[in-house]
Amino acid sequence: MPVCGVPDNLYVGREYEKGTQDLRGLLKGASDAKFDFVVVSLFEKPRADKPYDHEGQYELQPSTISDLSLDSKTWSSAVVGKLSDCVNMAEAYTPAARERCRQAFEQELAWASHLGVYGIVLPPPQDASCHLYAAALGRVGLSGICTSQLMIRIPLLQEQVGVQVDGWNTWNRCRLLCDQSARLQVALELTADLPETDMELQRWLAEPVRAVFVPADSFLTNKQGFPVLSKRHKSFLMQLFRNKVQIILQGLPEGPGSEGETDKYLHYTARLFQSRPAPTPQEQFELPYHDYLQAPLQPLQDNLESQTYETFEKDPVKYVQYEEATFRCMQDKLALGKKNIVVMVVGAGRGPLVVAVRSAASRAGADVKIWAVEKNPNAVVTLKHRKLLEGWGNVEVVSEDMRYWDAPAKADIIVSELLGSFGDNELSPECLDGAQRFLAEDGACIPCKCTSFLTPVTTTKLWNDVKNYNDVAHFETAYVVKFHQAFYPTSDI
């Protein structure tokens, strides 16, 4: 049973180092200890007298004997299978031996697919260049023999030929060599030593990390003798929780009498997960929009719907600031001796700016005439209704496109909220330029200018979504996105 949380639950698995022929018994034990799934090797180590570079036909050695060990529902919900090290081509010095390794890899993948296991874990690439590893992956793993997702196990820090390397570089190289296949995921191993900078940790947050191996030896022991994680380990894990990772506890004590020890690790993990603050209503509302490509609104071309107006009107900051700006502008006008102020709200929608202007006028004690110009006939229905219902005596509702409206007077103040998510993507210059005709010579526009900001971002999920369209156009399209699994590689300028 998963660890309950809001908005999602945590699934915790346990890795067993030794193979077993009694998979059912193993699962029973893990389930009794409240683990959700187990991680086991699906294959026997090749016998010393028959290594991969042995001559002749390779013969598959499933460690779990046959698929009948479990029913298919259990295979697909409770067993994550590890493949052998053959994909690393270790010690395969001849082309024939390499071919044999690839054969072994192909048969292993086919068997794992046949079982329909919950997850497939590939061993960490042993060679920094990843060439042979990625070639085997591309030719076999991603070619159609198996259609499941594949997790590559990547330690945060890895010893490779005597040098300590950052696992992200290995993953990145491997991923690039496999043409960024969306079927590759990461099973990240939380090593006892972490990379030096937080930047090196943070960039994992944009990667497709599906599971995190937490080895028993990455835990410290606190004064009470309980296993705990260091502050840095803890905070990194908390960030990973936000990306809905699964946890796999690794290297726990095995054998009779070890249940109590094991339980401490699981308990600590569950408590850590549940210590996350509950999401605010705002965060809850945003959940379904995380990392999802949204087409920007086209309010000039399409009439907005009632629901869209309603969402915009909920903005807790914007209209307060608009009222304040309009209030000050009116004070300036009054100070210059102006008696009657003409305000034009262009793109009035259902009236939030009209309300802000009326409220500013009443605070400033100004005598105003307001023109509410709106081209969406459905929003005009609402404006007219509010004029009646709320007694907007000084408001004239105009059902026109501001670009073509024949204004009966010059405006002292033009108020608009046409700005898009990024600068002018809702065509505000095209519309507002048409409205300049009726701005008085000493008139003011609110807002009078705007600035857009740019930053590069790493986001594997969205990049793949765009890539799936299979054309250049979508890479050159602007989207509105609530980023979640993202990494910002640069600091502010």
The answer to whether 315 is annotated as binding is no
Of 307, 314, 380, which Cα lies nearest the Cα of 350?
Answer: 380
Question: Which of 55, 71, 406, 476 forms a contact with a copy of itself (CB under 8 A)?
Answer: 71
Query: Nearer to a copy of itself by C-beta: 165 or 297?
Result: 297
SS3 content of the chain, % helix, strand, coil (to 5): 40, 20, 40
Subset of 329-358 contacting a copy of itself (CB under 8 A): 350
What residues between 260 and 299 interact with a copy of itself by CB under 8 A? none
**Which stretch in 305-313, 358-366, 457-465, 473-481 sits in contact with a copy of itself by CB under 8 A?**
305-313
For 415-449, letters b (16+ CB in 10 Å) and e give bbbbbbeeeeebebeebbeebeebbeeebbbbeee
**CA-to-CA separations, 438 to 139, 386, 412, in angstroms, rounded:** 67, 25, 9
Of 8 and 302, the one with the shorter C-beta distance to a copy of itself is 302
Q: Which is nearer to a copy of itself, 196 or 390 (CB)?
A: 390
CA distance from start to end of the chain = 47
What 3 state SS string does 119-143 have? EEEECCCCCCCCHHHHHHHHHHHCC
Q: Which of residues 411-440 bind a copy of itself (CB under 8 A)?
A: none
Cβ nearer to a copy of itself, comparing 310 with 367: 310
309 annotated as belonging to a binding site for a ligand: yes
Q: Which stretch binds a copy of itself (CB under 8 A): 72-80, 258-266, 434-442, 460-468?
A: 72-80
> Which of 108, 426, 430, 441 is the catalytic position?
426
Q: Is 41 in the site for a copy of itself (CB under 8 A)?
A: no
CB atoms within 10 A of CB 118: 21
The annotation status of 469 as a binding-site residue, yes or no, is no
Q: Is 305 annotated as a binding residue?
A: no
Determine, following the binding rule CB under 8 A, whether residue 40 of this chain makes contact with a copy of itself: no
> Any bridge partners for residue 150, and if so which?
184
| Tokens, residue 159 | 């010893």
β-strand pairing of 220-221 with 209-215: unpaired
Does residue number 456 form part of the binding site for a copy of itself (CB under 8 A)? no
Alpha-carbon span 346 to 416, nearest angstrom = 5
User: Contact with a copy of itself (CB under 8 A): which of 2, 5, 29, 116?
Assistant: 116
Query: Binding mask 81-110 vs a copy of itself (x if CB under 8 A, - otherwise)?
Result: --------------------------x--x
Q: CA–CA separation, 335 vs 387, rounded Å?
A: 29
CB 369 within 8 A of CB 398: no
Cα–Cα distance between 401 and 380 in angstroms, integer?
12
Annotation marks residue 417 as catalytic: yes
- Which run of H or E residues covers position 414? strand 411-415
Total number of residues binding a copy of itself (CB under 8 A)? 31
What is the rounded distance in angstroms from the CA atom of residue 159 to the CA atom of residue 155?
Answer: 9
Residue with tokens 């022929």: 21
Cα separations in angstroms, 378 against 74, 153, 232, 344: 55, 56, 55, 20
Min separation Cβ 306 and a copy of itself, Å: 4
In this chain, which of 62, 195, 299, 347 binds a copy of itself, going by CB under 8 A?
A: 62
Is the Cβ of residue 340 or residue 378 nearer to a copy of itself in the bound state? 378
Q: How far is CA 357 from the centre of its chain?
A: 39
Tell me whether the omega of the peptide bond preceding residue 208 falls within 30 degrees of 0, making it cis. Answer: no
Q: Which residues lie closer than 8 Å to 145 by C-beta, 6 or more apart?
A: 106, 109, 110, 113
396 as an active site residue: the answer is: no
Q: How many CA atoms lie within 13 A of 266 on its CB side?
A: 24
* 60 or 457: CB nearest a copy of itself: 60
Output the CA–CA distances (angstroms, integers) from residue 68 to 46, 118, 123, 339, 485, in the order listed. 23, 16, 26, 90, 39
The answer to whether residue 452 forms part of the interface with a copy of itself (CB under 8 A) is no
Residue 105 or 309 having the CB closest to a copy of itself: 309
Rounded to a whole number of angstroms, the minimum distance from the CB of residue 352 to a copy of itself is 12
Is 307 a residue that touches a copy of itself (CB under 8 A)?
Answer: yes
CB of 67 to a copy of itself, least distance (A): 4
* Catalytic one of 17, 417, 430, 441: 417
Cβ nearer to a copy of itself, comparing 5 with 116: 116
Does the annotation list 58 as a binding residue?
A: no
Q: DSSP class of residue 305? A: P
Nearest distance in Å: CB 128, a copy of itself:
34
Site for a copy of itself in 361-390 (CB under 8 A): 377-379, 381-382, 385-386
What minimum distance in Å lies between the beta carbon of 465 and a copy of itself? 22
- Of the pair 216, 304, the CB lying nearest a copy of itself is at 304
374 annotated ligand-binding residue: yes
Q: Shortest gap between Cβ of 47 and a copy of itself (angstroms)? A: 18
- Whose structure tokens read 């995921």? 185
Binding-site annotation, residues: 309, 318-319, 374, 401-402
Where along the sequence are the contacts to a copy of itself (CB under 8 A)?
Answer: 60, 62, 65-68, 71-72, 75-76, 107, 110-111, 113-116, 303, 305-307, 309-310, 350, 377-379, 381-382, 385-386
Binding residues for S-adenosyl-L-methionine, by number, are 309, 318-319, 374, 401-402
Q: Which residues are catalytic?
A: 417, 426
